[in-house]
A and B are shown apart, each in its own frame.
Chain A
């Protein structure tokens, strides 16, 4: 099925990208990017409301199924990706995000939205490769990130090749090899241990806006849901779930001991993608729903956490966690947003993060009771990482370092994201119902 809403919002984002790239003044470029993202978000909201009110109409045109939004779990994804887009472009610091970078961020977001619009394996494989290429171009465009671009390419090229091969194998009706190569491709993109080598360095060195636009939409999760649901054999599914749990725990442990804020962020994200991978391959509908909500929490809360970090970094320079060196009183709104979003991403009560964590952990008990404890340990460590980052970055000194608090644009973007997390957290059943009674099909027999 092709989603009109997703195509429409993708078009808005692409047009905005074109305008932004052609703007020479960085401040004006970001202003235009923010407006474009706001319009895309408004359109996404309107489409979602129309789709819900009209009972999800579909029609068949030229042999294609056309709908307003994709049905089931993907219904809110368009909205979430557009909110993520607004957050990313509005919070991107000018010094590290010139117009060209902002343009590429918008293109990455448009690709993510277009990814949702289609269900064709070939189109997905092409978009998969295209998003990697756009991110690589950005890394190549700066001398200081050449080595990172090399590292990035050495992981993303195989990932793209594997995804294309998966598409071909699906086309020739060889499902098992297709599943295996697709899983490998997704594992690389989602930075699952042990094929995560590119990710910490990428987060440390690339502009954070680009990192968020490349990672947060979680194309791997979408590809997994769309291409692999119901056809992964039980044995393989267990293997993937265990690998996800191992990634969640190990990355959480690695995050706690980091002395660099960006590297800690990288492991926090890895841990959460591990949780998603674990949940997606669980037989329990509770855990699978938890995984999908975690996906949306990652796109909103963790991205907000990352972009607040980017805003602080623009004011202060490289952020070290070795000693507390900030002042809460000087930047209270930024500190509150940082803390709220950080904890929302690891399960702050009454936010969507709590719902995600609870569903994931409770759902795991039937099939993987011991793995459930691993997930609990991972979330405990992730909480420590967030608190450590907060204390190190927003306390420890009374000195005024000339940092200013959030600007109006930053406040607006963060308010939207925090409101979404709170509203969705207050009435999660609405979201869970949107995702359908059976968010992902049962797995295939072994």
Chain B
């Protein structure tokens, strides 16, 4: 039986960031204006508290002989056989992840105090960061896929909104939407896996496994493969794996500090985290393990080449992140779980620092050259040596075009879908026009504006908005 104070500490890991969300959001809705310092203190206190709580639980775990510490706050809702439980699990996988997430979010909050000083969206940024932190801690400590999905959604939403942080420019908004569309498509995998686990296993909770808890594998290989592939699909979207990773370099349009925490450190590693939790499923379905290795290796190779052709530092770092996460996928597929966890923590820490320093690149470069006493040597020569000369121009073109994945996905798949659905929509409008005896053009997009004069009233503001 876990002592109550440890269970309380575990609850605080999620509860404190959630409390920060409430403290910042609720008064703001009622018109309270916070000072910048107050916002930073609320966020800092929440994540420092969460870090201390994590350390407390981790020490308790190391001192005890249990594989995991569990806290069950009871059912959120239950109908018939189905129950959604607030069950948190702290083990050797989740606690290190929860701890370094709280630490990095707190540090990025402290960094952002100056970086976003007097920025219009100061509160918005910190609020998003608090929601993101709550989502991450929920994903990490979740005792079931249902709860993972809860946090996963929060992470996706805040990610898209922070990419579009500079909302007065069209490009960040466009890229935020693209990231969100990718997330939503891949979330189908996570929710689908949860449904299929309930269907085949009867629950989606974590069960005992070595060296840490994992999702129970369905009894048959076919079902295990299906669930595994769905989880892989969910991970690919969040971790920007090929061919879905086109959103990642675009996501760098967001503020540097959010890029650091999302795409350098935490959000991008949630995919591997999910796969580490799914180890029993990967063991039951070798095909899924092979697919994880293949996707990871393909992403690593693709991102290495494309990253070397990038001309701006944030895009280069984005592809460097993709490469490393690809390698982590390979490690997970091969079953090297501790290596993958160490790789995640090391990579997240280093990459977030690199992204945070990226606006000072020229300054740092100059200092380095001064220290070296000369020009720094050119990088990437090993690739030139490895790739035959005749192939190099072709490969360079491929890298510049990002492997043509964007063209294939955006113009081919998404464009094809759009054209198909718009065709259905046109037919639908024509049927409506036929029924009313109107000119079909009246039902076409863009025609309505000229026909509904009352709908444009109030555009100057006064009459309509009262």
Contact surface of A with B, Cβ cutoff 8 Å: 27, 93-96, 142, 144, 147-148, 150-151, 154, 197-198, 200-201, 204-205, 250, 253-254, 256-260, 263, 284-286, 289, 311, 313-318, 323-324, 327-329, 333, 336, 343, 347-350, 354-355, 358-359, 361-366, 369, 372-373, 376-377, 380-381, 383-384, 387-388, 391, 394-398, 401-404, 407, 415, 428-429, 432
Q: In the assembled complex, which residues on chain B have CB atoms less than 8 Å from the CB atom of A363?
A: 79-80, 82
* Known interface pairs A348-B153, A396-B170; A362-B435 also in contact (CB < 8 Å): no
Q: How far is the CA of A424 from the CA of B309 in the complex (A)?
A: 52
Q: Contact: A404 with B465, CB < 8 Å?
A: yes
Q: Contact: A93 with B428, CB < 8 Å?
A: no
* Known interface pairs A94-B466, A144-B454; A365-B198 also in contact (CB < 8 Å): yes
Q: How far is the CA of A2 from the CA of B260 in the complex (A)?
A: 61
Q: How far is the CA of A323 from the CA of B464 in the complex (A)?
A: 23
Q: Contact: B184 with A314, CB < 8 Å?
A: no
Q: Is B458 an interface residue (CB 8 A)?
A: yes
0 or 1 for each of B441-461: is its CB under 8 Å from A? (1 = yes)? 011011011011111111111
Q: Which B residues between 165 and 210 are near A, CB-CB below 8 angstroms?
A: 167-170, 173-174, 176-177, 180-181, 184-185, 187-188, 191-192, 194-196, 198-199
Q: Is B425 an interface residue (CB 8 A)?
A: yes
Q: In the assembled complex, which residues on chain A have CB atoms less than 8 Å from the CB atom of B461?
A: 315, 401-404
Q: Contact: A384 with B181, CB < 8 Å?
A: yes
Which of B192, B418, B455, B466 sits near A318, CB closer than 8 Å? B455
- Which single residue of chain B is at the shortest CB-CB distance from A339? B161
Q: Is B421 an interface residue (CB 8 A)?
A: yes
Q: Contact: A311 with B465, CB < 8 Å?
A: yes
* 9 extra A-B contacts, CB within 8 A, seeds A205-B448, A286-B79, A289-B79: A253-B424, A324-B174, A333-B29, A336-B29, A377-B188, A384-B180, A391-B176, A395-B168, A404-B465
Q: Contact: B150 with A354, CB < 8 Å?
A: yes
Q: Contact: A361 with B191, CB < 8 Å?
A: yes
Name which of B48-56, B70-78, B243-251 contacts chain A: B70-78
Q: In the assembled complex, which residues on chain B have CB atoms less than 8 Å from the CB atom of A324?
A: 167, 170, 173-174
The CB with the most chain B CB atoms within 10 A, among A151, A318, A362, A373, is that of: A362
Q: Which B residues between 55 and 83 are near A, CB-CB below 8 angstroms?
A: 75-82
Q: Is B84 an interface residue (CB 8 A)?
A: yes
A-B contact count (CB 8 A): 215
The smallest C-beta distance from A420 to any residue of chain B, in angstroms, reads 15
Q: Is B422 an interface residue (CB 8 A)?
A: yes
Q: Contact: B422 with A391, CB < 8 Å?
A: no
Contact surface of B with A, Cβ cutoff 8 Å: 29, 75-82, 84, 120-121, 146, 150-151, 153-154, 157, 160, 164, 167-170, 173-174, 176-177, 180-181, 184-185, 187-188, 191-192, 194-196, 198-199, 417-418, 421-422, 424-425, 428-429, 431-432, 435-438, 442-443, 445-446, 448-449, 451-461, 463-466
Q: In the assembled complex, which residues on chain A have CB atoms less than 8 Å from the CB atom of B146?
A: 358, 362
Q: Contact: A391 with B164, CB < 8 Å?
A: yes
Which of B176, B432, B457 sits near A197, CB closer than 8 Å? B432
Q: In the assembled complex, which residues on chain B have CB atoms less than 8 Å from the CB atom of A313?
A: 455, 464
- Which single residue of chain A is at the shortest CB-CB distance from B157? A343
* Known interface pairs A258-B425, A318-B448, A373-B192; A93-B465 also in contact (CB < 8 Å): yes
Which of B160, B438, B445, B452 sits near A387, CB closer than 8 Å? B160
Q: Which 8 A-B pairs give the minimum distances between C-beta atoms?
A: A314-B464, A395-B167, A317-B459, A398-B168, A95-B457, A402-B461, A365-B199, A428-B77
Which of A327, A329, A380, A407 sits near B184, CB closer than 8 Å? A380
Q: In the assembled complex, which residues on chain B have CB atoms less than 8 Å from the CB atom of A260?
A: 445, 448
Q: Contact: B84 with A388, CB < 8 Å?
A: no
Q: Contact: A95 with B454, CB < 8 Å?
A: yes
Q: Contact: B167 with A328, CB < 8 Å?
A: yes
Q: Contact: B458 with A315, CB < 8 Å?
A: yes
Q: How far is the CA of A358 from the CA of B190 in the complex (A)?
A: 12
Q: List 21 A-B contacts (CB under 8 A).
A: A144-B451, A147-B438, A150-B437, A154-B436, A197-B435, A253-B424, A311-B465, A315-B461, A317-B455, A317-B458, A324-B174, A355-B76, A362-B82, A363-B79, A373-B188, A383-B184, A396-B168, A404-B465, A415-B29, A429-B76, A432-B78
Q: In the assembled complex, which residues on chain B have CB atoms less than 8 Å from the CB atom of A407?
A: 465-466
Q: Contact: B458 with A314, CB < 8 Å?
A: yes
* Known interface pairs A144-B451, A376-B188, A395-B173; A96-B457 also in contact (CB < 8 Å): yes
The smallest C-beta distance from A25 to any residue of chain B, in angstroms, reads 11
Q: Contact: B77 with A355, CB < 8 Å?
A: yes
